[in-house]
Structure 1
Amino acid sequence: MQMVRVTAVVVVVLMAVTEAAGRPKADDPCSVTDFPVLCKSAVKNMKDPLSATAAAINALLPLTEKAKAEAQKGKSDGGFSICLSNYDSAIDNLNKSLKNIRENDGFSLNVNLSAALTNFETCNDAVDGSPAAKDIAKSAGVLRQMADNCLSLSTLLPQ
């Protein structure tokens, strides 16, 4: 009987911890992200998840444009051309995401942010280990982290 009570208490505690882990800390939407320092630099102490998500996307867009310009300067090998194509797609997906926010379309927002994240991951995979693409790979990694943060922030919005 004692074992049943202990097991029940453990289950209740684990459920509470698991549920709390998915919630942001009070007034800190970045607490749900995998890269909170990077998130906080993009959202500038915003407390509202909607504003924070839009700010994170708006911070990611110009960096993606810059990375695209760098990829255009690169060699015409597969990695650079794959990144170039994926950066174009990511920019399109991020712009759609901002439109989704304006239209309160949480489902499409998650779809478009997931697509942008995939675009950055594809570029990162294409240039991984290439000495000629060292800077592109580093940039793609940061962009991927920022996109991951955007997607995490979007989960705080109504669907």
Structure 2
Amino acid sequence: MAIKHYTSFSLVFLATTTVLLVSHTHGHGLRTGKHDICQKADFKPLCRTVVKGLTDPRVALRSAIHQLIIQSRRAIRLADMHGKSDQYMDVCKESFDDALTSLRTSLKNLKNHDRASLNINLSAALSDYVTCDDAFSESGMGNPLGKIDALMSRMASNCLYLSSLVH
């Protein structure tokens, strides 16, 4: 169990460092509606689908976080339908629940203009999605939640990107 916490901490640290470096390189690139806010996102088509033409990074990020919360709730329901006695599914449900907590906190961070805490909480959510996938990978079993887990990881990555545009 302690190894899992060290791994999660390492992932959060790595993601936070990445966000800080990305935000430094992005600068003030998108202040007007003339540009595609998702042009430098890791998953551009997904970003464009989620933000639906929004041009204000703060508004776009809020929308993206809300969409990720919806997907996380959906993933928990899917995990419940796969059975309650599977230890790997239990890891996923706990991870998705932790991600929901981090996402709700990130909305508060966004509202309070606490950019550092925002990035930490978004990184934590991303780490939680990775934890679910890792549980199945380490077991040698296929992840029955692999598609939605991958989607949420991509969405969380895009949220981190959008947070780098918020000033």
TM-score band by shorter chain is: 0.7 to 0.9
Larger Rg, first or second structure (1 or 2): 1
Partner deviation per Cα, 1:81-116 (whole Å, 9 max, x = no partner): 110000000000000011111111111100000000
CA shift, 1:28, in A, is 1.9
- How many matched pairs? 138
* Deviating 4+ runs (over 4 angstroms): 23-26
Q: Is residue 37 of structure 1 aligned with residue 45 of structure 2?
A: yes
Three-state SS of the structure 2 residue aligned to 1:34 is coil
CA contact (8 A) 1:27 1:48 kept: no
Instruction: Give the Cα separation in 2 of the matches to 1:101 and 1:84.
Output: 26
Pick which of 29-38 and 112-121 moved more: 29-38
Instruction: Give the Cα separation in 2 of the matches to 1:22 and 1:106.
Output: 15
Q: Is residue 28 of structure 1 aligned with residue 39 of structure 2?
A: no
Instruction: Give the Cα separation in 1 of the matches to 2:67 and 2:49.
Output: 9
Partner of 2:95: 86
CA shift, 1:30, in A, is 1.1
* Counterpart AA for 1:37: P
Partner deviation per Cα, 1:59-95 (whole Å, 9 max, x = no partner): 1111100101111222322220110000000000000
Instruction: Give the Cα separation in 2 of the matches to 1:126 and 1:109.
Output: 26
Percent of residue pairs identical: 37
CA contact (8 A) 2:99 2:128 kept: yes
TM-score normalised according to structure 2 size: 0.76
Partner of 2:74: 66
Partner of 2:111: 102
Segments of 5+ residues of structure 1 without an aligned counterpart are 1-20
CA contact (8 A) 1:78 1:126 kept: no
Question: Relative contact order: is structure 1 or structure 2 higher (C-alpha 8 Å, sep ≥ 6)?
Answer: 2
Structure 1 residues 1-159: aligned runs within 5 Å: 22=26, 24=29, 26-75=34-83, 76-128=85-137, 130-131=141-142, 133-134=143-144, 136-158=145-167
Instruction: Give the Cα separation in 1 of the matches to 2:102 and 2:40.
Output: 22
CA contact (8 A) 1:53 1:150 kept: yes
CA shift, 1:22, in A, is 3.4
